Structure 1
Amino acid sequence: MSRFRDLFDPASPVILDAGWATELQKRGLAPGESPDAWNLARPDDVEAVARSFVEAGAQAILTNTFQGSPLALARVGLDGEARRINEEGARLSRRATGGANVRVLGSIGPTGRRRDLAAEAFTLQAEALAAGGVDALVLETFGDLAEAGTALVAARATGLPVVAAFYFDEASGEPRTADGSSPEAIAQAMAQAGADAVGANCGAGIAGFAEVCRRLASACDLPIWIKPNAGLPTIVDGKAVYETTADAFAAALPELVAAGAAFVGGCCGTSPEFIRALRIAARGRGPAR
């Protein structure tokens, strides 16, 4: 059994949180502004978003640190604050649980930078999230196996369980990461490298995720983590608008669980309403893979 799966009640699926950037944008996050900087500048808003996911029924919530590496924060002149931003992100999500039995998972996104620079950045971020008190680390939206491997080494050094989640583009009709890797190749590589769970997030919408889930599950014995977008957005008056409803999103849950998903939540365009719908859909289901 995966160390990550052991953090949760065996009754599955475990319902995750929703789109952090989507909710922060509702509170005034401007295009191009660093969401992670809000951990210091607007902590009350960050905690409120985390609390909204808890109140909606999420059994695990992320930290507001997806682009909290010093390399990403250097673009807004905050690389020197990276450690504090990550520690505060962990503490804000932890405080938002209000003592409830909700796990806090530290979010780490890709850097797209050279391996030596990325390794140092991932190490700082993972150590700071661990110091802030997260229960596990989540590598999100990775598209390159080599970079994910570098991040996984840094994350595993903390001793915490680690989830590795990838972005699969299905534009060609076949799900592939940016470096051309298939779901099977991703699952096998991450299992061999010591990940505690593997999965997919973001993407063009929930419709294609069952197939990706099945293929990930067929290639490894790790729990599968699934966090799709609410479809692709259209831009209306300068804002991203997603047409997928919470009920339509949650209607896909049985197929995802049948495909092997043990953890299901939402990415871009999803909200606490989506989490409530997923919790309703999950009621009465037996243990997942």
Structure 2
Amino acid sequence: MDFSFGARDQVRLLDGGIGTWLASQDEAHAVAPHQACIKNPSLVSSLHQAYARAGAQALQANAWLALHLKEAEAERTVRAAADCLDFALENSEGQPAPARLLSMAPGLGTPPSGKVALLDQLSRFDAVVLETLIDPWQLAWVAWLAEWATIPVAVTLVPDNRPGSWDPADFARRSQRSGAKAVGINCGYEDAPLAAAQAVAAMRQVVPGMILMARPALWDRPAWLAAAKDCVAAGANWVGGCCGCAPEDIEQLAIHLRR
């Protein structure tokens, strides 16, 4: 899949939350949801299938904390997450195959000086998304991935319009210079509910030619649906959900966007 994600004038549907949904099904997954791919792969695959049935055109692998782990464990986690996606899509007959995304948070501290084992698994995905950035120093991880990854890199900011937060326009410019092929937002803060669309609008102003992704968090479905629609109006090309979002919410978003 080309990281143009299709025509710029099209709006496409991402999936929703992974970790929060897994925790809602089994409290054992609340602290380390990425381990569910190893300990309960059928549960993870069932979630991917549910998002695909809801209309998601891209699915994210459950490997969010992989870059926080030691090298061997990180590679094992990404491999297991890819296996869960493979199983889900092999058993989703009659549906167009969604794009496969590897979504990860930036690691702790500085990135490695070269290639690490988990990068060998990237050929199983269409793109890698470095998400939940909140500070400029984390862009070192974007540059590292852009150098070593064999697939395109996207990067998303936690939107925050409170004083002292990272300016989304600056984030977008720096991300582009660091090698990102797409930018956007994911998650958010309950006391900054309008930040998602504001951030997307600011990014669209400074990187008019880039694909923008939006995954606002869900605390209240009507407000989340409105935020997602506002993100599209602000220039997002791909829209979905983050923490708190479940397959039924993505299904409602698909209906909402068709209106």
1:16 to 9, 14, 25: 14
Match of 2:176 in 1: 191
For the Cα contact (< 8 Å) 2:19–2:29, is it kept in 1? no
Q: Deviations over 1:46-94 (max 9, x none)?
A: 111111111111110100000012xx335xxxx6332121012012123
Alpha-carbon distance in 2 for matches of 1:203, 1:270: 12
Alpha-carbon distance in 1 for matches of 2:139, 2:115: 10
Give 1:30's aligned amino acid: A
> CA 1:250/1:13 → structure 2, altered by over 3 Å: closer, same or farther?
same
| Range that drifts further, 7-16 or 263-272 | 7-16
| Range that drifts further, 195-204 or 151-160 | 151-160
1:272 aligns with 2:259: no
How far residue 135 of structure 1 moved from its aligned partner, in angstroms, is 0.7
Q: Secondary structure at 2:100's aligned position in 1?
A: strand
* Equivalences, count: 252
For the Cα contact (< 8 Å) 2:218–2:242, is it kept in 1? yes
Match of 2:186 in 1: 201
1:119 aligns with 2:115: no
1:281 to 233, 251, 256: 256
How far residue 257 of structure 1 moved from its aligned partner, in angstroms, is 1.6
Match of 1:88 in 2: 80
How far residue 255 of structure 1 moved from its aligned partner, in angstroms, is 2.4
1:106 aligns with 2:98: no
Give 1:83's aligned amino acid: E
Q: Secondary structure at 2:149's aligned position in 1?
A: coil
Q: Secondary structure at 2:81's aligned position in 1?
A: helix
1:257 to 207, 210, 232: 232
For the Cα contact (< 8 Å) 2:22–2:29, is it kept in 1? no
Q: Deviations over 1:164-223 (max 9, x none)?
A: 001133332x7x2xxxx3111111111122211001111125532111110011111211
> CA 1:123/1:163 → structure 2, altered by over 3 Å: closer, same or farther?
farther
2:160 to 166, 169, 181: 169
For the Cα contact (< 8 Å) 2:65–2:105, is it kept in 1? yes
Alpha-carbon distance in 1 for matches of 2:115, 2:257: 34
1:228 aligns with 2:226: no
**What is the aligned-residue RMSD (CA, Å)?**
2.4
For the Cα contact (< 8 Å) 1:54–1:102, is it kept in 2? yes
1:60 to 55, 58, 61: 58
How far residue 248 of structure 1 moved from its aligned partner, in angstroms, is 3.8
- Structure 2 residue runs of 5 or longer lacking an equivalent are none
Q: Deviations over 1:213-243 (max 9, x none)?
A: 1001111121111111113xxxxxxxxxxxx
> CA 1:120/1:268 → structure 2, altered by over 3 Å: closer, same or farther?
farther
1:219 aligns with 2:210: no
Match of 1:240 in 2: none
